Structure 1
Amino acid sequence: MTATARDYARLRNIVFGLSLLAWLVLLRPVPAATGAARMGGPQSVSWCGTAMPIVAPAPSGAALTRAGVVLQHTAAPALTWAWMGAWAIMLVAMMLPTLVQPLYHIRLSCFSRRRMRASALFVAGYGVVWLAAGAALWAVAVAVSSLETPAYLLAVGAATAALVWQVSPLKQRCLNRGHRHGPLAAFGVRADWDALRMGLTHGGWCTGSCWAAMLLPLLLGHGHLWAMAAVSLLVFCERLDPPRTPAWRWRGFETACCYVRLYFWGPRRSPAPASTLIQA
């Protein structure tokens, strides 16, 4: 194994290890809060390792208004910080494995003494974009869930929207731009700005690519962790596909199926050529 291959493998293992730790945090049991229930509001559930209100339609408009008042006047600051922490852990678990290539690009483009600093600035820019996007997605999820619509219809609608966006040409444009990483300055403030700008840009195109898929787990009252795992696998696999001409096509599913088949059944054995069989 060459030095370059070892560096890439070391970076990949560190990133995957941090993602695994985040998944373990998400899977830990969290006691549900009961304060909202005592006030007549909805129960709380463990969402991404944090006690959060159930994203589901209220029994009536009055109950929804009463629950909104309780959350607004008694739990808004705590809920905000809890949501930010939960969303950050969710991003580390789901999206960090997709950053191996840009982080390796930074490693190759910077001097050794600036690699950690440039990587931190890149991740900070990427996280800021996704934090703003997460707030918007959470607002959309709460607004949609406030409608008097059965939960299964919300799930079907979110899955349909995610599937349509997954196969759309605009999705491919975002993926193509996410593969582009320009040169970085070597010294001074310009180098720091280039790393931060790279994180902001990559986060923007990543958000444009994954917003529909990330909205799906937010609209599921049950099984959101399974949905997160499925979305995480799909997002990772679609990053392995090369840039292509924007068109309506399936993306990520073929690569994901190849990974599943390789895990359960091993690599395919190509049939021996006919000439070999004849000689044998």
Structure 2
Amino acid sequence: MPLRAVAAHLRLGPMPWLLALAATALGMSLLLPAGHGLVELCGRLSLAQLADPAARALLLPAPGLLAGGWVLMVLAMMPPLVSAPLAHLWQTTAHAGRWAAVAPFALGYLAVWSLAGLVLLPLALLLASGPAALPLLLGAALIWSASPTAQAARNRCHRMRWLPAGRIRAARAALDYGLAHGGACLGACWPWMLVPLAVQGGHGAAMVLVAVFLLVERAMPAAPALWRVPPGIVALYGLAPSRSRHLTGLRRF
């Protein structure tokens, strides 16, 4: 079941374009000059430095650069997660109105994640410091993924909307759809966005690994909102070779 679900998700029409967008944003975030992005901050700031105004002014980029780094991080990790709703909009909208539906959806989705950066980025700068930050944030993200709240948010991500007739009405509905889907995606994924920011080296690899985990998790079907083993763990366990599954001692859920 996990293999079929993930394979079906990867075969969705927009996926190659979304992967290309994510790869481009990842490359841009890693190629930014020193002092112009989030990469050099990841896991390297201490609370003492953040509390010192002089140190903050010296170490932190301008707010606009931080915001740009956050948007690039979102674009490097999140696009594959919207392959299903984008495929749905593309297939259920008349040919002449496809872009008028897809563009407002994408705008609404990106707006939610961009505004979320106003909270998540300062939170990451406060928490993602010290040698214990990475295991603590990773553990917190796994606990969140196992929670009923996260499962309810993932279930909302599986809901598809039909747009009304008329280009203007459809565009407004698509924008609302993007905002709603972005809110559900934020509710399911927000702790995972803090994890790469706690990595002192290999920030790009951490973003890729987290993005893959979230994509595999999103490919799993909706389920009752109960405490459960994180669906990403279940899916990756199901994708592992049979010998590896035997050695882990895990059971299927």
Fold-level similarity (TM above 0.5) = yes
Q: Deviations over 1:103-126 (max 9, x none)?
A: 011112211111112111000000
- Quote the residue 2:94 is aligned against: 111
- Quote the residue 1:13 is aligned against: 16
Paired amino acid for 1:180: R
Give the number of the structure with larger relative contact order, counting CA–CA contacts within 8 Å between residues 6 or more apart: 2
Paired amino acid for 1:102: P
Q: Of 167, 171, 188, which aligns to 1:209?
A: 188
**Alpha-carbon distance in structure 2 between the residues aligned to 1:12 and 1:223:** 25
**Alpha-carbon distance in structure 1 between the residues aligned to 2:130 and 2:159:** 39
Q: Deviations over 1:19-56 (max 9, x none)?
A: 2222332343x4424xxxxxxxxxx8x635xx658642
Q: Deviations over 1:69-122 (max 9, x none)?
A: 4468xx5xxx22222322222222211011110001111221111111211100
- Quote the residue 1:256 is aligned against: 236
Paired amino acid for 2:103: A
- Please tell me whether residue 184 in structure 1 is matched to residue 163 in structure 2: yes
Q: 1:114 to 1:70 in 2, by over 3 A?
A: same
- Quote the residue 1:173 is aligned against: 152
The alignment of Structure 1 onto Structure 2 pairs a total of residues equal to: 233
Q: Of 171, 186, 207, which aligns to 1:228?
A: 207
Q: 1:254 to 1:185 in 2, by over 3 A?
A: same
The within-5 A match list for 1:1-280 is: 10-28=13-31, 30-33=32-35, 47-48=38-39, 55-57=44-46, 60=48, 64-70=52-58, 79-144=62-127, 151-250=130-229, 251-259=231-239, 261=241
**Alpha-carbon distance in structure 2 between the residues aligned to 1:177 and 1:129:** 15
Q: CA deviation at 1:226?
A: 2.5
TM-score w.r.t. length of structure 2? 0.81
- Alpha-carbon RMSD across the aligned residues, in angstroms, is 2.8
Q: CA deviation at 1:247?
A: 1.6
TM-score w.r.t. length of structure 1? 0.73
1:252 is paired with a residue of what secondary structure?
helix
Conserved 8 A contact 1:55-1:141: no
Q: CA deviation at 1:9?
A: 5.2
**Alpha-carbon distance in structure 1 between the residues aligned to 2:144 and 2:228:** 10
Q: 1:26 to 1:219 in 2, by over 3 A?
A: same
Paired amino acid for 2:218: R
Conserved 8 A contact 1:237-1:252: yes
- Quote the residue 1:272 is aligned against: none
Q: Deviations over 1:241-264 (max 9, x none)?
A: 1100112222112323455659xx
**Alpha-carbon distance in structure 2 between the residues aligned to 1:139 and 1:26:** 18
1:185 is paired with a residue of what secondary structure?
coil
Q: CA deviation at 1:68?
A: 2.5
Q: 1:190 to 1:63 in 2, by over 3 A?
A: closer
Q: 1:53 to 1:181 in 2, by over 3 A?
A: closer
**Alpha-carbon distance in structure 1 between the residues aligned to 2:43 and 2:151:** 33
Choose 1 or 2 for highest CA Rg: 1
2:164 is paired with a residue of what secondary structure?
coil
- Quote the residue 1:278 is aligned against: none
